[in-house]
Amino acid sequence: MKIVDASVVVASPGRNFVTLRITTDDGVTGLGDATLNGRELAVVSYLRDHVAPLLIGLDPHRIEDTWQLLYRGAYWRRGPVTMAAIAAVDVALWDIKAKVANLPLYQLLGGASRERVRTYGHANGRDLPELFESVRERLDQGYKSIRIQTGVPGLKRVYGVHGEPEVTPDGHPRPLVEDWDTAAYLRHIPTVFEAVRSEFGAELPLLHDAHHRLSPQQAARLGKDLEPYDLFWLEDCTPAENQEGLRLVRSHTTTPLAIGEVFNTIHDFRTLVNEQLIDYVRAAVTHFGGVSPLKKLFDFAAQQQIKTAIHGPEDISPVGMAAAIHLDLAIHNFGIQEYAGYTAATEEVFRHAFTFDDGYLHPGEAPGIGVELDDELAAAYPYVPAYLPVNRLADGTVHDW
Ligand code: EZ4
Ligand code: CO
């Protein structure tokens, strides 16, 4: 069996998605997600110009060898563009292998370790009434665990509470500018969790994403202040390139910690895992080089009683999400899966076997990862230039977003 084609489809059914399709001489096809929010076309070029020509003629069954060839063969290691491109190849090859075996991918990863995959959803609100309404909406949809994000008094726009996109006079989009004040945030968030607990009770698992905005000392204080509200986790409390910074946070609080959605190799987690500084590893299949390296990370994390929580925002395509759900079902140290859901247009472009029911996901029993891309429909949603927001302090200084 040989690879005869590797092509990239860019579609924007509500937001941009980049999908790789690999085709074999037997006519079997596999899909991989290569979406890197705000930098999509860099990965498109990496795949089209540099990777696709190398794949032609290779044996699609040699997944590990192809992964090593792309990772080591580039010489230039790591980074989100490279690792998103390699991820798309890895997942497309797993899709092909599982289709040829006539098995859903999770069966090739060891088979099911559970019946269904627990999820959490996002609740957002500018103020408490809006937030409570959002929580109720998620509960009505079946979610059993909920991430809480709110506005902060005095700030106009904060992560998770969406604003209007901005456009230059010549029509090119600009990143939305949000504003930030760490002191106001640290004062406000514990009052939000107190209110949510008194409205929704002690048992509802609650999460919060600090989105890389705090120093280790500030994160330690927030973790302590949130202890009475029994969080499921506090996410990305610091920009964790400085892994050693988590020692300070960890030594001051028992609030569980989750980190890793912007990481792209196991090396980014080395100190965090070896010293058991976090409780959940949060890398995405799409940004971490695929199912193959993510499984290695999860096995490494398991040795320190660390669980998994694959990144699953709206900007991971249903292809990347499907791969995640197969892995979630198969591994032993699964923790929880983030699942933001998709627009109706996205659901039409990407037909998927995975299901969301009563707050739980299941990958389905279709051979492969169980996703088909409708090219004709995809072509009706061309690429739309778009950026992630940026953050500035009151004096104009850029802050982490
Ligand atoms: O901001 O994926 O936990 N989820 C997140 C996401 C990220 C986006 C960036 O593209 O933090 O919403
Ligand atoms: Co996050």
Give this prediction's pTM. 0.97
Reported as a single tens digit per residue, the pLDDT across 165-176 is: 677 878 888 899
What separation in Å is there between the alpha carbon of 78 and the centre of ligand 1?
20
What separation in Å is there between the alpha carbon of 154 and the centre of ligand 1?
23
Closest Cα partner for 35 from 43, 24, 45, 23? Answer: 43
CATH, residue 184: 3.20.20.120
Q: Are 97 and 109 in contact (CB under 8 A)?
A: no
Q: Give the number of other CB atoms < 10 A from CB of residue 401.
A: 17
Q: Are 83 and 33 in contact (CB under 8 A)?
A: no
259 and 176 assigned to the same domain: yes
Residue 137 inside a domain? The answer is yes
Query: Any idea how long the chain is?
Result: 401
pLDDT of amino acid 18: 99
Residue 44 inside a domain? The answer is yes
117 and 44 assigned to the same domain: no
Contacts of 235 (CB under 8 A, 6+ apart): 147, 207, 208, 209, 210, 211, 257, 258, 259, 282
Catalytically annotated residue among 106, 159, 342, 381: 159
Q: Residue whose CA is closest, atom 10 of ligand 1? A: 37
pLDDT of amino acid 165: 66
* CA 115 – CA 292 distance, rounded (Å): 22
Tokens coding 290: 């695929």
**Could you list the residue range(s) of the whole structural domain that residue 14 is in?**
3-105
pLDDT of amino acid 272: 98
pLDDT of amino acid 33: 99
175 and 272 assigned to the same domain: yes
Residue 386 inside a domain? The answer is no
Residue 361 inside a domain? The answer is yes
15 and 163 assigned to the same domain: no
Q: Are 121 and 340 in contact (CB under 8 A)?
A: yes
Catalytically annotated residue among 106, 120, 143, 211: 211
191 and 260 assigned to the same domain: yes
What separation in Å is there between the alpha carbon of 311 and the centre of ligand 1?
8
201 and 327 assigned to the same domain: yes
* CA 342 – CA 361 distance, rounded (Å): 14
117 and 257 assigned to the same domain: yes
- Cα–Cα distances (Å) from 279 to 56, 233, 266, 270, in that order, read 41, 8, 16, 14
pLDDT of amino acid 163: 64
Residue 393 inside a domain? The answer is no
For residue 280, indicate whether it is catalytic: no
348: amino acid identity, one letter: E
Low-confidence ranges of the chain (pLDDT < 70): 162-165
Count the helices and strands in the chain (H runs, E runs): 14, 20
Name the residue with tokens 């996901």: 361
Reported as a single tens digit per residue, the pLDDT across 51-104 is: 999 999 999 999 999 999 999 999 999 999 999 999 999 999 999 999 999 999
